[in-house]
């Protein structure tokens, strides 16, 4: 019965799917018979490149040394590679529309891994992306922070170094191995300080069957060379003197740790509180290091919170969910900026609570892992 | 069994390198229709339907979301965590749109076994009765789901 139903649904889908099928056929036709010759690519009304037509804008820019964030290897499934196309983009493709909002359409924002160089094209690449480079780095040290989070230290080779702002992220290239037949990229926030520009650290949490995290946790070896590119992102401290509340669980600590260490180095003494959550005491990490910052940053408080205290261990810190504990530590919401680092769902729930407590939406900054 | 052109197209989209590098069929050399039939039979033998299984998966997801990225207890013997993971996948059966890969981990503390699934698995099971091919790293068999999530016919 179920199978008859399947067949029926597919018959219906034939009709509904005609447009999808046509789109796929167009993609295949494009890949096989498209010969567009040379095209002009103009970046920021300034740099002009002569390029081979027919490739995606993402690939074409990469060939010119311009890196656009991409976590899916250009399959149109991460939504990271958005750019403003000023001229020559043509109509939106069905594969772009799941990611581009109505507002973005008005601004000609396109998914540049889907859009091809069929015409001369004018594109706006934000200045910070022009700074992005690809590097080969050595895996220097792999340390377990908890049973499922590792801290990896990478060092740049030769004269290479990377200037970045505390809070930014890089993209690691995962080499081909049993879970991936072609290289893929994944984004990770830098947890170390920008002043150390010959090396950087990441905190990577294992995701069951995840391509990159399985590689990092089960295959990566100290001494190995891998490719990465960066830095990306605009999750960094504003230049105001508002009070600060930071919220994260697990590997969401990474960019916040970098920001705090940077505040210390740059002598920024804004009043700051870091609410950091874990399941139990075994899942908390770097507590001593962050606690010791309280002595060095005069107005800083580190609040480790566990959601499930174990009976066997005495815990006299905070217990519960971060959004439950938050009101106790948020004294002047109207004069506070919030910095959140977590998955999309968690950000939604923190944000809702922060706004309920009176923090204006434009003072809530986040780096969403999801 | 002979399969319709639509299933044939879905099978093509499931091969490595089309939607994902690894594809959805693993080393399973059977046609999609045969994979669907075998899993469908297993679900029917348990007195269940794909809908009932997907509903239970969604139940754990909704409970898990309440943990704000940390594990929560559900009932007497389950621990659930929902973690957002960047990236979405297109459905190989061809409807438009993309499905997210949020990772839902459920530990059944009574039988000391755990299972991880994503929104994508829920969609595949609910809409297509598809649990992925044998040997696909992402396959979750109906048996595993039924046992670990304790899914009963009368739910
Ligand atoms: C700006 C930013 C910063 C980030 N910083 C950090 C950080 O500091 N630390 C950190 O740990 N993470 C961070 N992340 C998250 C990180 O980028 C990855 O998303 C995460 O590590 C998972 O990657 P993965 O390759 O291991 O998983 P993926 O391979 O992307 O898989 C994710 C899930 O989808 C499932 N899946 C994949 N394919 C299929 C399929 N065919 N069928 C069914 N299920 C499937 C997998 O089983 C897994 O559960 C950040 C993300 C962003 C966007
Ligand atoms: S690179 Fe992922 S959507 Fe374009
Ligand atoms: Zn589908």
List pLDDT tens digits, range A152-209. 999 999 999 999 999 999 999 998 888 877 778 888 999 999 999 999 999 999 998 8
| Cβ atoms within 10 Å, residue A163 | 9
Return the percentage of chain A with pLDDT > 70, whole number: 90
- Whether A78 is in the pocket of ligand 2, judged by its Cβ within 6 Å, is yes
**Chain B residues close to A75, C-beta within 8 Å:** 19-20
pLDDT at A1 (0 to 100) = 42
Asked if residue A210 has its Cβ within 6 Å of ligand 2, the reply is no
Is the Cβ–Cβ distance between A353 and A325 less than 8 Å? Answer: no
Residue-wise DSSP of A291-351: HHHHHHSTTEEEEEEESS--TTS---SEES-HHHHHHHH-S-GGGEEEEEEE-HHHHHHHH
Shortest Cα–Cα distance, B69 to chain A (Å): 6
Q: Does any CB of chain A come closer than 8 Å to the CB of residue B42?
A: no
At residue B87, does pLDDT exceed 90?
A: no
pLDDT the model gives residue A370? 57
Give the ligand at the shortest distance from the Cα of A72: 2
Beta carbons of B84 and A368 less than 8 Å apart: yes
Measure B30 CA to ligand 3 centroid, in angstroms. 20
The pLDDT mean for chain B works out to 91
Task: List the single residue in B with minimal CA-CA distance to A12.
Answer: B6
d(CA A135, CA A199): 12
Residue B116 located in a structural domain: yes
For residue A113, the CA-to-ligand 2 centroid distance in Å is 5
pLDDT band at B147 (very low <50, low <70, confident <90, very high): very high
Judge whether B155 lies within some domain: no
DSSP state, A90? -
Q: With contact defined as beta carbons under 8 Å apart, do B84 and B118 qualify?
A: no
Tell me, yes or no, whether B153 lies in a domain: no
Question: Hey, what CATH class is A133-232 in?
Answer: mainly beta
Count of other CB atoms within 10 angstroms of residue B119: 21
Cα A329 to ligand 1 centre (Å): 32
- Ligand (nearest to CA of B125): 3
Q: What is the CA radius of gyration of chain B?
A: 16
Region of poorest pLDDT, from A31-35, A49-53, A218-222, A336-340: A31-35
Q: Which residue of B has its CA nearest to A283?
A: B70
Q: Give the pLDDT of residue B41.
A: 96
Mean pLDDT of B98-109: 89
Average pLDDT of chain A is 88
A78 lines ligand 1 (CB under 6 A): no
Ligand 1 pocket residue status of B138, Cβ below 6 Å: yes
State the pTM of this model. 0.85
Q: Which residues make beta-bridge pairs with A155?
A: A138, A199
pLDDT value, residue A72: 74
Q: CA of B49 to nearest chain A CA: how many angstroms apart?
A: 9
Question: Span A38-129: which CATH code?
Answer: 3.10.20.30
pLDDT at residue number A12: 40
For atom 24 of ligand 1, which residue has the closest CA? A210
The per-residue pLDDT for B37 is: 95
- Which of A7, A179, A321 is facing B4, going by the closest CB pair? A7
User: For testing the chain A interface, which of B83, B119, B125 should be mutated: the one with the most A CBs within 10 Å?
Assistant: B83
Residue B135, in any domain of the structure: yes
Q: What percent of chain B has pLDDT over 90?
A: 70
pLDDT in tens, A17-50: 444 444 444 445 554 445 788 999 999 999 999 9
The pLDDT-based confidence of A3 (bands split at 50, 70, 90) is: very low
pLDDT of residue A369: 63
With an 8 Å Cβ cutoff, is B17 touching chain A? Answer: yes
In Å, how far are A53, A67, A119 from A57, measured between CA atoms? 10, 11, 11
* Mean pLDDT computed over A222-233: 94
Q: What is the mean pLDDT of residues B89-112?
A: 87
Q: Is residue B110 domain-resident?
A: yes
Q: Which residue of A has its CA nearest to B81?
A: A279
Would residue B57 count as lying in a domain?
yes
Spelled out in words, what is the top-level CATH class assigned to the domain A243-369?
Answer: alpha beta
**Residue A14: pLDDT band by 50, 70, 90 thresholds?**
very low
- Written as one string, the DSSP assignment of A294-305 is HHHSTTEEEEEE
pLDDT value, residue A154 = 98
Domain map of chain A by residue range?
Answer: 38-129, 133-232, 243-369
Judging contacts by C-beta atoms under 8 Å, the chain A residues touching residue B7 are 6, 10
- For chain B, the domain total comes to 1
Which residues span the domain enclosing B80?
5-148
- pLDDT category of residue B86 using cuts at 50, 70 and 90: low
Atom of ligand 1 nearest to the CA of A187: 17
pLDDT at site A193: 97
Q: Which residue has the tokens 């993209």?
A: A171
- Span B47-67, mean pLDDT? 96
- Determine the pLDDT at residue B154: 67
Which residues from A are below 8 Å from B5, CB to CB?
14
């Amino acid at each position: 019965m179920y199978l008859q139903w399947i067949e029926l649904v597919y018959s219906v889908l034939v009709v509904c799917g005609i447009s999808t099928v046509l789109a796929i056929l167009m993609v295949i036709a494009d890949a096989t018979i498209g010969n567009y010759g040379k095209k002009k690519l103009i970046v920021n009304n300034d740099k002009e490149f002569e390029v081979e037509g027919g490739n995606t804008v993402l690939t074409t820019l990469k060939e010119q040394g311009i890196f656009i964030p991409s976590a899916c290897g250009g399959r149109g499934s991460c939504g990271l590679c958005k750019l403003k196309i000023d001229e020559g983009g043509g109509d939106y493709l069905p594969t772009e529309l799941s990611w581009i909002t109505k507002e973005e359409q008005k601004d000609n924002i396109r998914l540049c891994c889907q859009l091809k160089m069929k015409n001369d094209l004018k594109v706006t690449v934000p200045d910070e992306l022009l700074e992005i480079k690809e590097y080969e780095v050595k895996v220097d040290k792999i340390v377990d922070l908890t049973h499922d989070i590792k801290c990896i230290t990478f060092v740049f080779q030769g004269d290479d170094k990377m200037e970045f702002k505390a809070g930014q992220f890089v993209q690691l290239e995962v080499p081909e191995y049993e879970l991936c037949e072609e290289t893929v990229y994944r984004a990770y926030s830098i947890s170390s300080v920008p002043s150390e520009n010959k090396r950087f650290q990441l905190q990577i949490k294992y995701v069951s069957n995840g391509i990159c995290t399985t590689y990092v946790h089960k295959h990566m070896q100290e001494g190995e060379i891998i490719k990465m590119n960066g830095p990306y992102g605009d999750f960094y401290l504003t230049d105001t003197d508002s009070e600060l509340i930071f919220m994260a669980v697990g590997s969401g600590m990474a960019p916040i740790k970098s920001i705090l260490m940077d505040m210390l180095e740059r002598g920024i003494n804004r009043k700051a509180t870091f609410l950091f959550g874990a399941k139990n005491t075994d899942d908390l990490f770097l507590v001593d290091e962050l606690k010791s910052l309280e002595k060095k940053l005069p107005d800083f408080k580190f609040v480790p919170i566990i959601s499930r205290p174990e009976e066997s261990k005495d815990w006299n810190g905070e217990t519960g969910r971060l959004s439950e504990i938050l009101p106790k530590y948020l004294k002047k919401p109207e004069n506070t900026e919030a910095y959140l680092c977590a998955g999309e769902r968690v950000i939604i729930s923190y944000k809702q609570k922060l706004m309920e407590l009176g923090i204006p939406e434009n003072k809530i900054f986040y780096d969403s892992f999801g | 069994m002979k399969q319709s052109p639509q299933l044939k197209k879905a099978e093509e989209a499931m091969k490595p390198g089309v939607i994902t590098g690894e594809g959805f069929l693993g080393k399973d050399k059977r046609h999609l229709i045969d994979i669907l039939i075998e899993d469908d039979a297993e679900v029917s033998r348990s007195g269940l339907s794909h809908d009932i299984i997907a509903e239970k998966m969604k139940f754990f997801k909704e409970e898990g979301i309440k943990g704000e990225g940390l594990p929560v207890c559900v009932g007497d013997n389950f621990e659930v965590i929902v973690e957002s993971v960047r990236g979405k996948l297109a459905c190989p059966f061809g409807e438009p749109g993309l499905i997210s890969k949020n990772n839902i981990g459920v530990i059944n503390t009574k039988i000391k076994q755990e299972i991880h699934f994503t929104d994508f698995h829920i969609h595949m099971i609910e809409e297509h009765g598809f649990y992925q091919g044998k040997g696909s790293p992402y396959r979750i068999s109906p048996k595993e789901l039924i046992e670990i999530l304790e899914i009963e016919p009368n739910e």
